[in-house]
């Protein structure tokens, strides 16, 4: 048998070792990005989540002005963390609409009373139907939508302080 074949098992071992080592060393990336970025908003119409705000339909997201669509839930902790940033964005003049994921009207009202309500419209998505249409896989998530209803950007996870400027820039570019 060829001499070099003797080294084959060792080479295979090295390959396997490298594979597993990189798997262990690299941080686990669980983020699933939506493939809907760049595509028009899917058609939907959701009933109002609370009395004080109207429900949300896809037509509300294509009115000529770029908007943010925030997916949140009262049972979601990071949603509390991003509440001040959403309020800051609203004060900067951004129209923010929301989809409440798997939630009850009372819980949503309590959540908004406690942490502030930056939303113009809130639709309630009790069976994640619209969330699945959007390719969204959790809360909180925020979509930047241009005036024609095209999804420009998906922000996965809570909006941190340092993300606010980036989102404002994206909204400006979407004009």
Partner 1 sequence: MKRVLVFLLVCLAAPAAAQTGLPPAPYADRQLDDPQQEAAARDLMEELRCLKCQSQSIADSNAPMAGDMRSQVRERIAAGETPEEVRSWLIERYGNWVSYDPPISSAVTWPLWIAPIILLLAALWLARGRFRKYRGEQ
Binding site residues, partner 1, CB under 8 A? 1, 30, 32-36, 73, 75, 102-104, 107, 126-129, 131-135, 137-138
Give whichever of 65 and 102 is closer to partner 1, judged by the CB atom: 102
- What does the chain come to in residues? 175
Give whichever of 28 and 162 is closer to partner 1, judged by the CB atom: 28
Instruction: Tell the smallest beta-carbon distance from residue 24 to partner 1 (Å).
Output: 16
Give whichever of 133 and 163 is closer to partner 1, judged by the CB atom: 133
Measured at the alpha carbon of residue 59, what is the angle toward residues 89 and 68, in degrees to the nearest 5?
15
- How many other C-beta atoms lie within 10 A of the C-beta of residue 27? 5
Exposed/middle/buried for residue 34 (C-beta within 10 Å: 0-12, 13-18, 19+) = middle
Q: In which region does residue 109 sit, left (phi positive, over 0), alpha (psi from -120 to 50) or beta (all else)? A: alpha
- How many other C-beta atoms lie within 10 A of the C-beta of residue 2? 7
Instruction: Tell the smallest beta-carbon distance from residue 160 to partner 1 (Å).
Output: 22
Instruction: Tell the smallest beta-carbon distance from residue 159 to partner 1 (Å).
Output: 21
Give whichever of 36 and 87 is closer to partner 1, judged by the CB atom: 36
Instruction: Tell the smallest beta-carbon distance from residue 71 to partner 1 (Å).
Output: 12
């Amino acid at each position: 048998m060829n001499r070099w074949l003797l080294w084959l098992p060792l080479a295979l071992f090295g390959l396997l070792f490298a594979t597993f080592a990189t798997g262990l060393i690299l941080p686990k990336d669980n983020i699933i990005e939506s493939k809907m970025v760049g595509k028009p908003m899917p058609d939907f119409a959701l009933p109002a989540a609370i009395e004080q705000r109207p429900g949300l339909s896809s037509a509300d997201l294509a009115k000529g002005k770029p908007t943010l669509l925030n997916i949140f839930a009262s049972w979601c902790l990071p949603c509390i963390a991003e509440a001040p940033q959403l309020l800051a964005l609203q004060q900067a003049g951004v129209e923010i609409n929301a989809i409440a994921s798997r939630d009850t009207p009372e819980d949503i009202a309590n959540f908004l009373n406690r942490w502030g309500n930056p939303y113009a419209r809130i639709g309630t998505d009790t069976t994640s139907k619209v969330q699945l249409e959007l390719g969204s896989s959790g809360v909180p998530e925020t979509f930047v939508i241009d005036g024609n209803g095209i999804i420009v950007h998906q922000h996965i996870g809570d909006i941190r302080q340092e993300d606010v400027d980036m989102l404002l820039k994206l909204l400006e570019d979407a004009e």
